[in-house]
Amino acid sequence: TEQELSAVFEQTIAADQRIEPRDWMPEAYRRTLIRQIAQHAHSEIIGMQPEGNWILRAPSLRRKAILLAKVQDEAGHGMYLYAAAETLGVDRAELTEKLIANKQKYSSIFNYPTLSYADVGVIGWLVDGAAICNQVPLCRCSYGPYARAMIRICKEESFHQRQGYELLLAMVNGTEAQREMVQESTNRFWWPSLMMFGPPDGDSPNTRQSMAWRIKRHTNDELRQRFVDMTVPQSEALGVTLPDPDLRWNEERGHYDFGEPDWDEFKAVISGSGPCNAQRLAHRRRAHENGAWVREAARAYAEKQTAKRTG
């Protein structure tokens, strides 16, 4: 009976074991995972655009090769994640349709422009740094296919983060103009990076249930704090200032205190009116339409192969 199945599900979660695709699961658990994994996959794919903007303009062959490899990794992450979502009974094509119809979200961070080459380094440092903080606990997510995908993705993300930090180290040891570029970029990306963790716990409708199901292991605010604590010493090593006058070490708490992100800006960005939302979606839509002939050719090829085998 449904009650017995539900009890087995609850026991599996309580014992910290994994739910696998063929196991019974509550519909709401399935829906939550599809929502989160699809949003995560879309973020990887849309996230190729801001950095992709600099591939043709990278300052040397070495920097171009590094950036190209990184952006390709993001495509790979998107593919793993769509594959993980497909184990829940949805289709990648359907998820892509929802993205380009603006019916599923992707991370707010990718709606900001990349205005200077320093942004490539700062995205690696802050955006990949925040992504790692958020995703390492997801390696222990209760849903097996998502947890396993996260292990490989996190390894690659750590590499991306180092890549960004190394680029910034080169720039801060360069000319005064290069140091200024790094500072200016940090000023633009700091607050949007903090917003990647989602709304404050009091305004996060999904956290409670997702923690009970052990999809999420920490709240949005806990992970945001962890990111700040990790990043401040890195900013000191780089010699850049984080643009928050309220940022200071709190001896009593054993954490850094920090200011409040502009949540009105966050709401505007996730509801479609950030600086680049329209551009990002239009680009994705165009790429999808331009790829129609590839999908058509693949289908025709598959049909011929089937005909050969069965004919």
Nearest CB to ligand FAQ, comparing residues 129 and 258 = 129
- DSSP bridge pairs for 255: 250
> Is there binding between residue 136 and ligand FAQ (CB under 6 A)?
no
Nearest CB to ligand FAQ, comparing residues 122 and 179 = 122
Please say whether the beta carbons of 31 and 265 come within 8 A. no
- Least distance in angstroms from the C-beta of 267 to ligand FAQ: 9
- Least distance in angstroms from the C-beta of 239 to ligand FAQ: 24
- DSSP bridge pairs for 249: 256
Nearest CB to ligand FAQ, comparing residues 41 and 172 = 41
The token pair that represents 228 in the structure block: 């700040």
The token pair that represents 246 in the structure block: 């309220």
- Measured from each CB, the residue nearest to ligand FAQ is 47
Distance CA 86, CA 92 (A): 7
Which CA distances in Å does 26 have to 29, 52, 147? 5, 39, 18
- Least distance in angstroms from the C-beta of 197 to ligand FAQ: 6
Nearest CB to ligand FAQ, comparing residues 190 and 197 = 197
One symbol per residue from 205 to 244: x for binding ligand FAQ (CB under 6 A), - otherwise; what is it? xxx--x-----x---x------------------------
Integer Rg of the chain from CA: 21
Task: Count the neighbouring beta carbons within 10 Å of the beta carbon of residue 100.
Answer: 17
From the list 139-147, 199-207, 232-240, 243-251, the region that binds ligand FAQ by CB under 6 A is 199-207
One symbol per residue from 62 to 91: x for binding ligand FAQ (CB under 6 A), - otherwise; what is it? ------------x-----------------
The token pair that represents 279 in the structure block: 């551009």
Q: Which of 122, 127, 181, 242 binds ligand FAQ (CB under 6 A)?
A: 127
Nearest CB to ligand FAQ, comparing residues 128 and 244 = 128
- Least distance in angstroms from the C-beta of 48 to ligand FAQ: 7
Q: Left if phi > 0, otherwise alpha if psi is -120 to 50, otherwise beta: which for 214?
A: left
From the list 42-50, 167-175, 231-239, 256-264, the region that binds ligand FAQ by CB under 6 A is 42-50
- Least distance in angstroms from the C-beta of 127 to ligand FAQ: 5
* C-alpha 164: how far from chain center: 16
Q: DSSP letter for 111, please.
A: G
Burial of 114: CB neighbours in 10 Å, binned 0-12, 13-18, 19+: buried
Q: Which of 9, 18, 33, 40 binds ligand FAQ (CB under 6 A)?
A: 40
* C-alpha 56: how far from chain center: 24
- Least distance in angstroms from the C-beta of 111 to ligand FAQ: 9
> Is there binding between residue 183 and ligand FAQ (CB under 6 A)?
no
Please say whether the beta carbons of 135 and 154 come within 8 A. yes
β 255-257/248-250 pair status: antiparallel
Which CA distances in Å does 54 have to 48, 69, 98, 174, 192? 11, 13, 28, 20, 20
Interface contacts to ligand FAQ, rule CB under 6 A: 35-36, 39-40, 43-44, 47, 74, 105, 107-108, 123, 127-128, 131, 134-135, 195-199, 204-207, 210, 216, 220, 270
